[in-house]
């Protein structure tokens, strides 16, 4: 079968640009070279504050879930006992994202949901990850938030979306990421959750959105149509990362619709570097921020085939 625009097979063919990635501390962001990409080791909020305003064309990110994973590092987001504190931290990070976005920029925010603990405070050790010292399930479950009951769906994606709207963002679309290959859950009193949200948020009423770059085949089989708001994309774990990573095919339409070649793409929660990978493959530059140095090393290893890597540990003056 011919590779299509949306087929990861065509990535490599399009990546002929000479790329450079600089790896270093947040202070590097105070003076960026727009021809270069960056992996910044540090806290998202601290690092974003260094970046000059209106530099980024699009942001694609997936913040840590609340109360699920222990990424094993101080200042990590997601381990708060109070869900309001978690949401407040994300609103503050994304306020900085809004500041650094260009006036016609877009923000693609992936959020998954969860359930209240149902009164259980202890979490059984995570069998899959407990021995690898990289990432593990949190050993505790945060208490049920005020106003919710045991077994309630938290509704976190929409709670965050409404807070971001209040904070000035335009909420333009709720895209359903449908995961056809999701693993079974051991529940018998509700459907198995097979989706997450991707919110399309913008800084202004008018913004750059190349709908033609992401047309999808029409149902009739003749021609193409505007991309719909349900995206069926299989989960695709990156073998060396022991946490939820973006499938590249999920990030691809966000970057294609949200930016042009040579534009700057941001991911403030870079993890294994998937946003950077797709950005480079599509001839964009990127800034990825990641708190955990082990994951920065993972992203570096993953992106080495696509770029020359330069280490710069020097603190620059803001």
Ligand X SMILES: C[S@@+](CC[C@H](N)C(=O)[O-])C[C@H]1O[C@@H](n2cnc3c(N)ncnc32)[C@H](O)[C@@H]1O
Task: Number of helices (H) and strands (E) in the chain: give both, helices first.
Answer: 7, 14
Cβ closest to ligand X, residue 254 vs residue 264:
254
245 is a site residue for ligand X (CB under 6 A): yes
Among 243, 252, 264, 302, binds ligand X (CB under 6 A): 243
- Of residues 50-69, those binding ligand X (CB under 6 A): 62, 64
Cβ closest to ligand X, residue 8 vs residue 148:
8
Cβ-based neighbours of 79, under 8 Å, separated by 6 or more: 67, 70, 138
Residue 136, SS3 per DSSP:
strand
Cβ closest to ligand X, residue 144 vs residue 281:
281
271 is a site residue for ligand X (CB under 6 A): yes
- The residue behind tokens 């309630």 is 152
CB of 33 to ligand X, least distance (A): 22
CB of 8 to ligand X, least distance (A): 14
Among 26, 39, 43, 86, binds ligand X (CB under 6 A): 43
| CA–CA distance, 258 with 86 (Å, rounded to integer) | 27
Residue 21, judged by CB atoms within 10 A of its CB (0-12, 13-18, 19+), counts as: buried
CB of 93 to ligand X, least distance (A): 8
> Strands 170-178 and 195-202, how do they pair?
antiparallel
Cβ closest to ligand X, residue 77 vs residue 280:
77
Question: x/- string (CB under 6 A) for ligand X, residues 294-313?
Answer: -x------------------
Please tell me the chain's helix, strand, coil percentages from 3-state DSSP, rounded to the nearest 5: 25, 25, 50
- Of residues 79-138, those binding ligand X (CB under 6 A): none
Q: Which residue is nearest to ligand X (CB)?
A: 271
What's the Cα-to-Cα distance from 306 to each of 11, 14, 70, 100, rounded to whole Å?
11, 11, 30, 26
| CA–CA distance, 272 with 289 (Å, rounded to integer) | 11
Among 289, 296, 303, 307, binds ligand X (CB under 6 A): 289
Site residues (vs ligand X, CB under 6 A):
43-44, 62, 64, 71, 75-77, 241, 243-246, 269, 271-272, 274, 289-292, 295
């Amino acid at each position: 079968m011919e590779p299509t625009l949306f087929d990861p097979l065509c990535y490599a063919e399009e990546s002929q640009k000479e790329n450079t990635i600089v790896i270093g501390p947040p202070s590097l962001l105070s003076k960026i070279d727009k021809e270069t990409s960056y992996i910044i080791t540090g806290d998202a909020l601290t690092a974003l504050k260094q970046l000059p305003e209106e530099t980024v064309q699009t942001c694609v990110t997936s913040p840590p879930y609340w109360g699920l994973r222990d990424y094993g590092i101080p200042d990590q987001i997601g381990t708060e006992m109070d869900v309001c504190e978690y949401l407040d931290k994300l609103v503050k990070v994304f306020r900085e994202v809004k500041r650094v976005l260009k006036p016609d920029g877009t923000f693609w925010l992936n959020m998954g949901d969860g359930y209240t603990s149902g009164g259980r405070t202890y979490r059984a050790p995570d069998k899959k990850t407990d021995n690898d010292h990289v990432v593990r399930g949190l050993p505790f479950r945060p208490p049920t938030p005020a106003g919710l009951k045991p077994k309630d769906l938290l509704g976190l994606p929409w709670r965050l979306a409404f807070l971001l709207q209040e904070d000035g963002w335009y909420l333009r679309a709720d895209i359903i990421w449908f995961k056809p290959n999701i693993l079974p859950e051991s529940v018998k009193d509700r459907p198995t959750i097979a989706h997450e949200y991707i919110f399309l948020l913008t800084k202004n009423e008018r913004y750059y959105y190349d709908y033609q770059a992401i047309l999808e085949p029409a149902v009739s089989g003749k021609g193409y149509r505007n991309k719909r708001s349900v995206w069926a994309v299989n989960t695709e774990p990156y073998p060396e990362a022991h946490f939820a990573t973006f499938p590249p095919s999920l990030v691809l339409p966000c970057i294609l619709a949200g930016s042009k070649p040579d534009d700057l793409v941001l991911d403030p929660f870079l993890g294994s570097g998937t946003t950077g990978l797709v950005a480079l493959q599509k001839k964009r530059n990127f800034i990825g921020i990641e708190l955990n140095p082990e994951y920065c090393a993972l992203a570096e290893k993953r992106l080495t085939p696509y770029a020359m890597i330069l280490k710069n540990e020097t603190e620059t003056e803001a």
